[in-house]
């Protein structure tokens, strides 16, 4: 009897071991399959719309990006770790270190302008002396034009912005650049990149990102504004994309206000059949942001922005979750959808604002994207959000094909769609979520974050360009170009 008990115990233990072994394998397999399920779902989900944009006009900011390892540049400048402080405008080398360190510790992307050409000239010369410097197309508008040309070669593109000799040699030949856009000397922006595990002042980064600084004259004064709309009138595009307004952020209120009023007059002259997309970028002056939201947003059809730009817009205009401006970590999903809905209802097309054109917002962050639209003005938004998220992963990893070994999902696996909703479980087999609220339509997709990112600059611009090309503007649905257009 005693022997039988021992044998039974051994057998029970063996069976328990087998159960827990296979249970753990199953759990690990499910965990490992999350990323692969998303990749496969994206491939099945992304479809071109029936109506596609064929002529794109893009402006207004452009420059040459100097891309350098941020810590190498600081050391070459003789700078050492010091205080963390967010300076809205940069005047000195020390303010560069403090502002870079502030965002380095957060792992957040940021952009600041210099108001001292001599100091920026010193930094530029030091960057040029680094062996690791890389030079690329820069400026949101120029990057959107270049990305679209690369990804959608059958789209005809007009680009208007300050284009110097070096930038002209970098831009794709297929892009039309009028002589009126040419300038004698290139504008330069400095991209200070850092990688996961980089250390400065005892802080070790957990994400890869970049800090941008610049001093320029053409972009910061929007000197090409009138030239751009002259080109639009001649080119007759079916989609207009504008970026660069953020560079007015550091200008005097009287100057920036006058430029915004000039822009609004141009926008109001564009027929409603031709959608206008505005791409935001980093801004800190809430009075200026408030002016853009109140005066510009009702005169555009589509807006692209990230978490910093979304929360500063809400804070500047008395919207929801304003206190989250500057919060660390990735933005909370339901707070983002709350703000998107508020922006669309408050400044977008509605019964109380019938003259507003705004009907689409594309939010993009490191870990997920959301597109919100009014009614049925835009179609194919599930494909658009998936295409944008997929493009972010491809570009960051710099690969043609994604696989689960090189990317991670970073969103919480339980989340709410809006404040007050019940939490839902994330389903990796159906990662693109479509939902409605108060007559507004939303599509959500996670981003697969690259474990070892190789290209962090221009991700937002590539995302917005891709999302737009997969979107269908239903107001202008009579131009069907055929299945083989792309």
Contact 465, 147 (CB under 8 A): yes
Phi, psi of 51 (to 5 degrees): -105, 125
d(CA 276, CA 311): 22
d(CA 42, CA 179): 41
The pLDDT score that the predictor gives to residue 485 is 30
DSSP-assigned letter for residue 132: T
Q: Where are the beta strands (DSSP E) in 132-249?
A: 134-138, 156-159, 188-194, 199-200, 203-204, 209-214, 239-243
Q: In terms of Cα–Cα distance, which of 391, 397, 458 is closest to 63?
A: 458
d(CA 88, CA 298): 27
Query: What ranges in 77-192 are assigned the alpha helix state H?
Result: 93-106, 117-128, 140-151, 165-170
Express each pLDDT in 137-171 by its tens digit: 999 999 999 999 999 999 999 999 999 999 999 99
Q: In terms of Cα–Cα distance, which of 254, 202, 203, 248 is closest to 225?
A: 248
**Which structure tokens are listed for 95?**
């303010």
The partner residues of 60 in beta bridges, in order of sequence, read 243
**Which structure tokens are listed for 301?**
């059809």
Exposed e or buried b for every residue in 335-349, given b needs 16+ CB within 10 A?
bbbbbbbbbbbbbbb
Phi, psi of 154 (to 5 degrees): -90, 0
Cis status, amide bond into 60, omega within 30 of 0? yes
Q: How far is CA 252 from the centre of its chain?
A: 27
The strand pair at 424-425 and 55-60 is best described as: unpaired
Q: In terms of Cα–Cα distance, which of 434, 453, 415 is closest to 330?
A: 415
Q: How far is CA 42 from the centre of its chain?
A: 19
461 is catalytic: yes
Q: In terms of Cα–Cα distance, which of 138, 141, 197 is closest to 164?
A: 138
Q: Taking the domains of the chain in order of start, what are their residue ranges?
A: 45-61+137-176+211-476
Count of positions (residues) in the chain: 486
Q: How far is CA 454 from the centre of its chain?
A: 16
SS3 473: strand
Contacts of 118 (CB under 8 A, 6+ apart): none
Contacts of 196 (CB under 8 A, 6+ apart): 205, 206, 207, 208, 452
d(CA 116, CA 121): 9
Which DSSP helix (H) or strand (E) runs through 171?
A: none
Contact 479, 274 (CB under 8 A): no
The strand pair at 302-305 and 407-409 is best described as: unpaired
d(CA 162, CA 220): 11
d(CA 280, CA 387): 20
How do the pLDDT tens digits run along the chain, 486 residues long? 544 555 555 545 544 444 444 434 333 344 458 999 999 999 998 999 998 999 999 999 999 999 999 999 999 999 999 999 999 889 999 999 999 999 999 998 888 889 899 999 999 999 999 999 999 999 999 999 999 999 999 999 999 999 999 999 999 999 999 999 999 989 999 999 999 999 999 999 988 889 999 888 889 899 999 999 999 999 999 999 999 999 898 789 999 999 999 999 999 999 999 999 999 988 889 999 999 999 999 999 999 999 999 999 999 999 999 888 878 788 999 999 999 999 999 999 988 888 999 999 999 999 999 999 998 899 999 999 999 999 999 999 999 999 999 999 999 999 999 999 999 999 999 999 999 999 999 999 999 999 988 876 778 888 899 999 999 999 865 333 333 333
CB half-sphere exposure, 91, CA atoms < 13 A:
2
The pLDDT score that the predictor gives to residue 38 is 95
d(CA 351, CA 243): 29
The superfamily in CATH containing domain 45-61+137-176+211-476 is Ribokinase (3.40.1190.20)
Instruction: Please tell me which residue in 65, 216, 338, 461 is annotated as part of the active site.
Output: 461
Contact 386, 432 (CB under 8 A): yes
């Amino acid at each position: 009897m005693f022997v039988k008990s021992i044998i039974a115990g051994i057998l029970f233990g063996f069976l328990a071991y087998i159960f827990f072994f296979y249970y753990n394998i199953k759990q690990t397999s499910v965990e490992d399959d999350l990323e692969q399920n998303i990749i496969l779902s994206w491939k099945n989900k992304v479809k071109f719309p029936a109506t596609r944009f064929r002529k794109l006009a893009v402006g207004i900011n452009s420059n040459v990006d100097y891309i350098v390892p941020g810590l190498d540049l600081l050391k070459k400048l003789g700078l050492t770790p010091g205080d963390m402080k967010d300076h809205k405008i940069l005047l000195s080398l020390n303010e560069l270190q403090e502002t870079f360190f502030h965002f380095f510790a957060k792992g957040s992307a940021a952009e600041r302008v210099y108001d001292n050409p001599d100091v920026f000239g010193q930094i530029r010369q030091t960057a040029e002396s680094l062996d690791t410097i890389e030079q690329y197309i820069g400026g949101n508008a120029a990057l959107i034009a270049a990305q679209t040309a690369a990804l959608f070669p059958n789209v005809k593109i007009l680009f208007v912005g300050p284009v110097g000799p070096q930038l002209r040699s970098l831009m794709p030949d297929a892009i039309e650049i009028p002589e009126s856009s040419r300038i004698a000397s290139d504008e330069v922006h400095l991209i200070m990149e850092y990688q996961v595990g980089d250390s400065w002042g005892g802080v070790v980064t957990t994400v890869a990102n970049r800090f941008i600084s610049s001093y320029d004259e053409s972009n910061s004064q929007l000197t090409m504004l009138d030239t751009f709309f002259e080109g639009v009138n001649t080119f007759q595009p079916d989609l207009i994309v504008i970026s660069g307004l953020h560079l007015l952020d550091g200008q005097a209120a009287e100057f920036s206000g006058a430029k915004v009023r000039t822009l609004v007059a141009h926008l109001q002259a564009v027929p409603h059949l031709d959608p206008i997309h505005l791409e935001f970028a980093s801004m800190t002056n809430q009075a200026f942001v408030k002016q853009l939201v109140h005066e510009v947003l009702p005169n555009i059809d589509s807006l692209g922005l990230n978490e910093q730009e979304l929360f500063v817009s809400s804070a500047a205009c008395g919207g929801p979750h304003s206190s989250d401006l500057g919060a660390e970590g990735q933005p909370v999903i339901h707070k983002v959808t709350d703000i998107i809905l508020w922006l669309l209802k408050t400044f977008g097309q509605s019964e109380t604002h019938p003259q507003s054109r705004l009907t689409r917002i594309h939010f993009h962050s490191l870990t997920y994207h959301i597109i919100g639209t009014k009614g049925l003005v835009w179609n194919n938004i599930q494909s658009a959000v998936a295409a944008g998220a997929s493009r972010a992963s491809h570009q960051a990893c710099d690969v043609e094909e994604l696989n689960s070994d090189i990317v991670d999902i970073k969103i919480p696996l339980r989340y709410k769609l809006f404040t007050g909703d019940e939490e839902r479980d994330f389903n990796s087999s159906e990662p693109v979520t479509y939902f409605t609220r108060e007559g507004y339509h939303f599509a959500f997709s996670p981003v697969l974050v690259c474990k070892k990112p190789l290209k962090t600059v221009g991700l937002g611009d590539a995302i917005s360009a891709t999302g737009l090309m997969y979107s269908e503007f239903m107001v202008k649905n009579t131009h069907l170009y055929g299945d083989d257009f792309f």
